[in-house]
């Protein structure tokens, strides 16, 4: 007989690994819309992994991030053609600022959460804004903060996830730097 807890553990590991592969690929692209679509897929896969591990708040935060990425991909695609009214654009930004603020405040554990909230809101702004350079830089900063937090709470999966973000962004800049020197 197959143990149900083991079953969910295996499901979490499979989806977590798939999410990590997508995370790595995400930050190798230069196109903002592709970056957001890949990030949405990575967040969806990680949400399933966290749900399988019964970490429901992390699953919810990843689902919010998935919807954010889809909305901002749509926004970036249509904003370049002038087809989006500024009120819709600002409304989407406000919606995701509120969603992340509420999710972080509902899971409040320490004053460090205010730093995380500030960085997350800034990251949402960079995703909403045009360009990808600032997205990578802020994601790198967020990942470093999250690695420190995950080390302090012994969250191995969190350490691995954030390390993949750091490695992926670093690889992107190393590849870009080596191409510019050729």
Give pLDDT tens digits for 164-175: 989 999 999 898
Query: 131 — alpha (psi -120 to 50), left (phi > 0) or beta?
Result: left
Angle (CA) 149 115 147, round 5°: 20
| CB of 149 closer than 8 Å to CB of 111 | no
Query: What CA–CA distances, in Å, run from 55 to 50, 81, 127, 143?
Result: 5, 40, 25, 19
Look at residues 133, 102, 139, 99 and name the one whose alpha carbon lies nearest to residue 119.
Answer: 139
Q: What is the pTM of this model?
A: 0.83
Write down the pLDDT at residue 1.
Answer: 46
DSSP string, 134-164: HHHHHHHHHHHHHHHHHHHTT-HHHHHHHHH
Query: 154 — alpha (psi -120 to 50), left (phi > 0) or beta?
Result: left
Residue given tokens 């510019």 in the structure block:
180
DSSP 8-class letter at 130: S
Look at residues 13, 32, 24 and name the one whose alpha carbon lies nearest to residue 163.
Answer: 24
Give mean pLDDT, residues 31-38.
93
Sign of CA dihedral 164, 21, 154, 98: positive
pLDDT tens profile 77-130: 888 777 888 899 999 999 999 999 998 888 777 787 788 788 889 889 988 987
């Amino acid at each position: 007989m197959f143990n149900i807890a083991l079953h969910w553990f295996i499901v979490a590991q499979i989806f977590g690994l798939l999410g990590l592969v997508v995370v790595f690929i995400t930050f190798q692209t230069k196109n903002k819309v592709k970056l957001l679509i890949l990030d949405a897929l990575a967040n969806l896969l990680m949400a399933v992994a966290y749900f399988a591990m019964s970490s429901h708040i992390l699953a919810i935060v990843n689902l919010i991030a998935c919807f954010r990425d889809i909305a901002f991909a749509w926004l970036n695609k249509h904003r370049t053609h002038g087809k989006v009214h500024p009120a819709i654009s600002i409304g989407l930004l406000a919606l995701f600022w509120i969603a992340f603020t509420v999710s972080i405040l509902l899971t409040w554990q320490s004053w460090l959460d205010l730093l995380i909230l500030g960085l997350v809101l800034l990251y949402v702004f960079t995703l909403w804004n045009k360009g990808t350079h600032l997205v990578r830089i802020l994601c790198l900063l967020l990942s470093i903060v999250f690695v420190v937090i995950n080390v302090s709470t012994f969250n191995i999966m969190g350490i691995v996830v954030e390390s993949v973000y750091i490695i992926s962004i670093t690889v992107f800049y190393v590849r870009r730097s080596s191409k510019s020197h050729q």
